A and B are shown apart, each in its own frame.
Chain A
Amino acid sequence: MVAYRRKWLVWFTAVCLLVATACSGNGSSGAEGGEGEAGSGKEPVRLKFMYWGSAFEKQAMENMVEAFNKSHPDIVVQAEHVPGDYAAKINTLMATNELPDIAYLSEPLSMKWGAEGRLLDMKPYMELYPQLAERLEQTYYNPAPDKTLGTNTAVEIITLYYNKDLFEEAGVAPPPTKGENAWTWDEFVETAKKLTKDNNGNTPFDPGFNPNSIVQYGVSFPTWIGGWYPFLLSNGGDITNDDGTQYTLDSPEAIEVFQKLQDLMYVHHVAPTATQQQNMPATNVRLQTKKVAMAIDGQWALLDFASTKMNFGMGVLPKFKEPKTIVLGSPTVIFANTAHPDEAIRFYLYHNDPKQVDLYAKGLWMPLEEKYYTDPAEIAYWTDNEAHPPEYKDAVIDFTLNYAGRSPMYFLKNMAEIEPVINAALDKLWTNKEPAEKVLRDLKQEVQPLLQGKYQ
């Protein structure tokens, strides 16, 4: 009996050892490869950089990191691309103190961790590096008045795309490209109606128009916050009052905006419903295949147009009172416990420098530094190419400079909890279950307890 047990134990230990050696052999091989690059002289500083993005962005980032490592022999950046579930990973790393030095981070987490002192305060570095200080003011994430955790990785705004051929066909004037000429809401609805067609070619103006068989919609807009917040600001509304303690989505201004957005779907029949949009492709393909004539979407969608053979244009968003859009995106942050803050800042300034990364010229990103919006030579540097249409300067660059507010992610506390609650309630609006006034009034009791004020 005892002999049996020993035999078994030997056998089992042998297997364990075998596995352990096999795995550790596997594990160490990568590290050894890295060690070899160290080269002569002083040991280089090692930085870990974590980011998300599609395979396309990954390539651009890998090229950037390679160039950085070549031009900075004293620093070795190890880039880690996380292909999904970023929140689960970064939370795990934060909880177990395995953080990278630099990383992309969602806005709510950035603000929360920034307020907790987990992120490097970049205020002191702004004096040292003008390229850090002279950025669009909307793009700074300030968890406290005297602190900043940096800016967006890149600027994005909400903008309007359209299919030029469809406008010419219908003989309709294209969307204005200057903020001061922005369509009023009525002009916008009128235009959208002219560009909506059912399967018999009737528009909503024609008597035989059948709203159940629409083949081409005038406009599509996203139902997440980027699709309505610019209009809310345009009409002088907001989610909360100035100090972020009182719910104000039930104000007349807010109700008007949401009701008019709902009407686009269900009264004027010029926009696909939220349900219909679920089965629609990305913006460029929507326009290309003439499912919609205009589409409201993020500036980042411009990247996709490069590979789409079509005659498209860009314009400014329609307005309620003021012409408005929002700056949004998410930041790259440096963690406070990095052993090498100075090197990290150097990489931070390099990693989204338009001179080093081609994602600007490709249309995915907009630069952060103000000079790229004001200095003609610098503007040309990133927009004088095939990806950017001629009206880009007016419709995007100037519009951003003069009319862009910012997403509530920059200032409202507890957005991680507030946003899903708002979204769930708005489902009733987007599916036409209830009118805006009722939805937004009922929402008050759910959002009000979640409000915790603003960060600054």
Chain B
Amino acid sequence: MTMSRTRAVSRIFIYLILIAGSIVMLFPFAWLLRSSFMSTAQIFIFPPEWIPRPFEWRNYTDALTIVPFGRYFLNTMTIELFAVTGVVLTSAMAGYSFARLKWPGRNMMFGLVLSALMMPYAVTLIPTFTLWKSLGAINTYLPLIIPAWFGGGAFNIFLLRQFFSTIPKDLDEAAYMDGANPLTVLWRILVPLSMPAIIVITIFTFIGTWNDFLGPLIYLSDGDKYTLALGLASFKGMYNAQWGYLMAASTAVVAPIVLLFFVAQRYFIEGITLTGIKG
């Protein structure tokens, strides 16, 4: 009786916190959404208003037609397809190797790979560009895709290494006894058991590619190849911005990734991991 009562109280308490936090966290998106339906004049009224009057639906119809977002969407999705696959496959392999398999120079190599994150991109941009230029890859998607197939970035490798390290080694050993090789161990045991982490790097890579501005900006010169992030930026000029359009287009570009996250986070559920197997 008392037990269930304290539980009920703590339940309510959790809900209260979650709801209060939600209101706070919803603020930026609510701001974006309300601005997307407003005239520029109303966006800047102070103190701010939350209800658009009138609803400027034209922000959406105009913004999405002035800039060829349909084409940009297809371009972005093309990059996504290759980048996400590459990252998941090669970073899982590397993460596995760095976490589990012993080979000479492994830890030093891991340190080197990780150090790539510590060098500010602004000074490696030009030599990297030279590299792609010598490969004849300027104005193609190659510079945006190929690195994904070579380990997929230190962030992802490191993350998977951490998650793979938490899985008990006796599982691998049992599999080896049954005649499995490391590839099957990775594919049949580690990846399924680390599904939440795989989902995390999938989401992050997808969003990172979706929002990547500098990469496409530097490497692409043909407007027909531009991506969504470049399309969004074109509403902001040197001296002025078309705020209503910018906000509407931003909302439209953000909506798919909100949806993606909503769907993907369902994989963060206990039960598809260890508990089910060892239980």
Let me know if chains A and B touch directly in the complex, using CB atoms closer than 8 Å: yes
Nearest neighbor of A289 in chain B, beta-carbon distance: B41
Per-residue CB proximity of B221-238 to A under 8 Å, as 1/0? Answer: 111111000110111111
Is there an interface contact between B41 and A27, defined as CB atoms closer than 8 Å? no
In contact, A53 and B125 (Cβ under 8 angstroms): no
Chain B residues whose C-beta falls within 8 Å of the C-beta of A48 in the assembled complex = 221
Q: Are A88 and B214 in contact (CB under 8 A)?
A: yes
From known contacts A27-B139, A80-B223, A281-B41, infer whether A19 and B149 are also in contact, taking CB-CB under 8 Å.
Answer: yes
CA distance A397 to B70 in the complex (A): 43
- In the complex, the answer to whether B130 meets A96 with C-beta atoms within 8 Å is yes
Is the CB of A15 closer than 8 A to any CB of chain B? yes
Residues of A within 8 A of B78 (CB): 26
A91 CA to B218 CA in the complex, in Å?
Answer: 10
Q: How far is the CB of B237 from chain A (nearest CB, A)?
A: 3
Chain B residue contacts of A80, Cβ below 8 A: 221-223
CA A279 – CA B225 in complex, angstroms?
36
Interface residues of B in 221-266 (CB under 8 A from A): 221-226, 230-231, 233-243, 245
Complex CA–CA separation, A79 to B41 (angstroms): 33
CB-contact partner of B217 in A59, A78, A84, under 8 A: A84
> For A288, what are the chain B residues with a Cβ–Cβ distance below 8 Å?
41
Query: In the complex, what's the smallest C-beta–C-beta distance from B88 to chain A, in angstroms?
Result: 12
**Which A263-298 residues have a C-beta within 8 angstroms of B?**
279-282, 285, 288-289, 298
Q: How far is the CB of A297 from chain B (nearest CB, A)?
A: 9
Residues of A within 8 A of B233 (CB): 83-84
User: Is there contact, CB below 8 Å, between A22 and B82?
Assistant: yes
CB pair A23 B224 closer than 8 Å: no
* B91 → chain A closest CB, angstroms: 14
| In the assembled complex, B45 has its CB within 8 A of some CB on chain A | yes
Task: Flag the segment in B24-32, B112-120, B140-148, B267-275 that touches A.
Answer: B140-148
Residue tally, chain B, CB below 8 Å to A? 53
- Judge if B94 is at the interface, Cβ distance under 8 Å: no
Task: Give B130's nearest chain A residue, CB to CB.
Answer: A96
Cα–Cα distance between A58 and B235 once the two chains are bound (Å):
10
B161-191 interface (Cβ within 8 A of A)? 181, 183
Q: Is the CB of B133 within 8 A of A55?
A: no
- B224 cross-chain contacts in A, Cβ below 8 A: 30
B66 CB–A CB distance under 8 Å: yes
B142–A92 CB distance below 8 A: no
Residues of B within 8 A of A59 (CB): 66
Contacts of B43 in A (CB 8 A): 281
* Chain A residues numbered 1-51 whose CB sits less than 8 Å from any CB in chain B: 4, 8, 15-16, 19-20, 22-24, 26-27, 30, 48
A4→B213 CA distance, assembly (Å): 40
- Give Cα A54 to B224, complex, Å: 17
Residues on the A chain within 8 Å of B140, using CB = 23-24, 26-27
Q: Which residue of A lies closest to B240 (CB)?
A: A282
The verdict on B110 contacting chain A, using a C-beta distance below 8 Å, is no
Partner of B142, one of A23, A280, A281, A301: A23
A327–B213 alpha-carbon span in the complex (Å): 33
Question: Quick check: A96 and B133 within 8 Å, CB to CB?
Answer: yes
Cα distance, A176 to B105, chains bound together (Å): 78
Whether B230 and A83, one on each chain, are in contact in the complex, defined by CB atoms closer than 8 angstroms, is yes
- B240, A96: Cβ atoms closer than 8 Å: no
Contact of B33 with A by CB under 8 A = no
Of the residues A24, A30, A54, A88, contact of B235 by C-beta under 8 Å? A54
A83, B234: Cβ atoms closer than 8 Å: yes
- Checking B149, B218, B223, B240 against A54 with a beta-carbon cut-off of 8 angstroms, the contacting residue is B240
- List residues of chain A with CB within 8 A of the CB of B237: 52-57
In the bound complex, CA of A16 to CA of B150 (Å): 10
* Most A CB within 10 A of own CB, among B141, B233, B239: B239
Given contacts A23-B145, A88-B218, A92-B126, contact A53 B40 (CB under 8 A): no
Task: Give the residues in chain A near B142, CB-CB below 8 Å.
Answer: 20, 23-24, 27
Decide: A81 near B149, CB < 8 A? Known: A55-B66, A285-B41.
no
Interface contact B46-A54, CB-CB below 8 Å: no
**Which residues from A are CB-within-8-Å of B230?**
83-84
Docked Cα-Cα span, A285 to B38, in Å, equals 13
Per-residue contact bits, chain A 51-93, to B (CB 8 Å; 1 contact, 0 not): 0111111110000000000000000001111111100110110
CB neighbours of B213 from chain A (8 A): 84-85
Residues of chain B lying within 8 A (CB to CB) of residue A348:
none
Nearest residue (CB) in B for A285 is B41
B204 at the interface (CB under 8 A from A): no
Q: Does B138 contact A (CB under 8 A)?
A: yes
Q: What are the interface flags for A87-127 relative to B under an 8 Å C-beta threshold, 1 for contact and 0 otherwise? A: 01101100110100000000000000000000000000000
B86, CB-defined interface residue at 8 Å: yes
> What are 26 of the A-B contact pairs (CB < 8 Å)?
A15-B149, A19-B82, A19-B86, A23-B146, A27-B142, A30-B222, A55-B66, A55-B237, A55-B245, A78-B222, A84-B230, A88-B122, A88-B125, A88-B214, A89-B218, A96-B126, A98-B129, A279-B46, A280-B44, A281-B243, A285-B40, A285-B41, A285-B44, A300-B239, A300-B240, A304-B240
Chain A interface residues toward B at CB < 8 A: 4, 8, 15-16, 19-20, 22-24, 26-27, 30, 48, 52-59, 78-85, 88-89, 91-92, 95-96, 98, 279-282, 285, 288-289, 298, 300-301, 303-304
| 7 closest Cβ pairs, A-B complex | A54-B237, A27-B140, A281-B44, A83-B233, A83-B234, A84-B233, A95-B126
Given contacts A23-B142, A81-B234, 5 further A-B contacts (CB under 8 A): A24-B142, A54-B235, A83-B233, A92-B126, A96-B129
